């Protein structure tokens, strides 16, 4: 199911953790790692107008662009060199891509060539925006069509898998990946259904139980009521083990969630990492 792993790296404090997860998963799935570094075109093509009311440049636009490109290229080379050294040391099969463009667009484009994407929950500008998702993550998570693993600064091995299941198409896709991960890593899977209606919970969990029956794994069905995102986030944080939390990108009310914010986004922001988002 997972034959290649894409790791976009921007040199942030998440990069080491991303690489550790990439090595961990590459070994488990015997999958090559594909390093992607993106030189943000917005930084190289910044327009500096001498007539601007707010900013008067000390150097010409052409000089600024040339110097910016040089600095960003040197940074890109350092990121790639460090990542390559780590992966070579760990005997991981890998390849490198360095491109110039919009980070979210490039990540989604290269995701089409891979089975799994690993990203830090925030990027290199985290210190100015610690309480929220990174802007690139927000954009990528809504556009990408492949599983997206969001990680924090600390690497943790998977000791269990937790999935929030509501019976939607996206949740069913998430259940497939959650079962695959639990079976591959030989860890327990918890399937959580959060409905205020007992009848709905039973129906959804019965469906999950029937789906999981052919898998060679231990699983537990959890009946919960309340606000779905709160319950899932609390379960991920209170777990005595380091869990991988899996959730589908949308539930039943896709249009409503896209407009006012979904359970998925809240879980992405607040649940203990790592969190795996699926389509």
> Hey, where are the domains in the chain?
5-59+66-151, 160-278
What's the pLDDT at 255? 44
pLDDT of residue 2: 96
- Between the ranges 45-59, 67-81, 180-194, where is the mean pLDDT highest? 180-194
The verdict on domain 5-59+66-151 having CATH code 3.40.50.620 is yes
Pick the range with the lowest mean pLDDT from 34-43, 65-74, 194-203, 252-261. Answer: 252-261
* Nearest residue to 187 (alpha-carbon basis) of 155, 213, 223, 160: 160
- Mean pLDDT value across residues 19-38: 97
Residue 49 CA to residue 149 CA, distance in Å, equals 41
- Higher-pLDDT residue of 53 and 21 is 21
Q: Pick the closest to residue 94 from 17, 177, 22, 45 (CA basis).
A: 22
Q: Is the pLDDT confidence value at 260 over 70?
A: no
Over residues 222-246, mean pLDDT: 94
Do the two domains 5-59+66-151 and 160-278 of this chain adopt the same fold? yes
pLDDT greater than 70 at residue 130: no
Q: What CATH class has 160-278? A: alpha beta
Mean per-residue pLDDT for 112-120?
A: 97
Spatial neighbors of 173 by CB under 8 A, at least 6 apart, are 248, 278, 279
Own/partner contacts of 123-128, CB < 8 Å, gap of 24 or more, are 123/10, 123/12, 123/14, 124/10, 124/11, 124/12, 126/12, 126/13, 126/14
- Determine which of 123-132, 165-174, 201-210 has the lowest per-residue pLDDT on average: 123-132
Quick check: helix, strand or coil at residue 12?
Answer: coil
pLDDT at 242 over 60: yes
Distance CA 59, CA 100 (A): 23
Bigger pLDDT: 195 vs 261: 195
User: What is the reported pLDDT for 171?
Assistant: 92
Going by the DSSP 8-state scheme, the letter that residue 274 receives in this structure is P
pLDDT at 258 over 50: no
Percentage of residues of the chain with pLDDT beyond 90: 71
Token pair of 265 as six digits: 């986004």
Look at residue 250 and tell me whether its pLDDT is greater than 90: no
Higher pLDDT, 55 or 200: 200
Long-range contacts of 103-108 (CB under 8 A, 24+ apart): 103/8, 103/10, 103/38, 103/40, 103/136, 104/136, 104/139, 104/140, 104/143, 106/8, 106/36, 106/38, 107/6, 107/8, 107/36, 107/38, 107/136, 107/140, 107/144, 108/140, 108/143, 108/144, 108/145
Contact (CB, 8 A) for 1 and 115:
yes
In which band, very low, low, confident or very high, does the pLDDT at 123 lie, cut at 50, 70 and 90?
A: low
pLDDT tens sequence across 185-219: 999 999 999 999 999 999 999 999 999 999 999 99
> Which tokens belong to 83?
């990542």
């Amino acid at each position: 199911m997972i034959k290649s792993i894409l790791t976009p790296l921007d040199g942030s404090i998440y990069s080491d953790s991303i690489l550790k997860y990439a090595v961990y998963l590459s070994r488990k799935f015997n999958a090559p790692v594909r390093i992607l570094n993106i030189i943000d075109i917005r930084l190289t093509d910044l327009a500096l107008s001498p007539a601007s009311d707010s900013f008067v440049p000390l150097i010409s636009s052409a000089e600024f662009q040339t110097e910016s490109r040089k600095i960003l290229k040197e940074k890109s080379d350092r990121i790639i060199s460090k990542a390559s050294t780590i992966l070579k040391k760990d005997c991981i099969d890998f390849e490198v891509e360095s491109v110039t463009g919009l980070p979210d667009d490039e990540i989604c484009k290269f995701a089409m060539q891979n089975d799994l994407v690993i990203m830090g929950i925030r990027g290199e500008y985290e210190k100015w925006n610690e309480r929220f998702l990174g802007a690139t993550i927000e954009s990528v998570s809504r556009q990408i069509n492949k599983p997206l693993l969001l990680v924090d600064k600390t690497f943790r091995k998977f000791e269990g898998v937790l999935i929030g299941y509501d019976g939607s198409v996206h949740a069913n896709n998430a259940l497939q990946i959650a079962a695959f991960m639990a079976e591959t890593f030989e860890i327990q899977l918890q399937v959580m259904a959060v409905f205020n209606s007992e009848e709905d919970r039973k129906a959804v969990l019965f469906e999950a139980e029937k789906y999981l029956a052919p898998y060679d794994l231990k699983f537990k069905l959890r009946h919960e009521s309340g606000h779905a995102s709160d319950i899932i986030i609390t379960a991920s944080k209170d777990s005595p083990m380091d869990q991988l939390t899996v959730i589908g990108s949308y539930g039943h009310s896709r249009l409503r969630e896209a407009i006012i914010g979904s359970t998925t986004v809240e879980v992405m922001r607040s649940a203990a990492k790592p969190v795996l988002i699926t389509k």
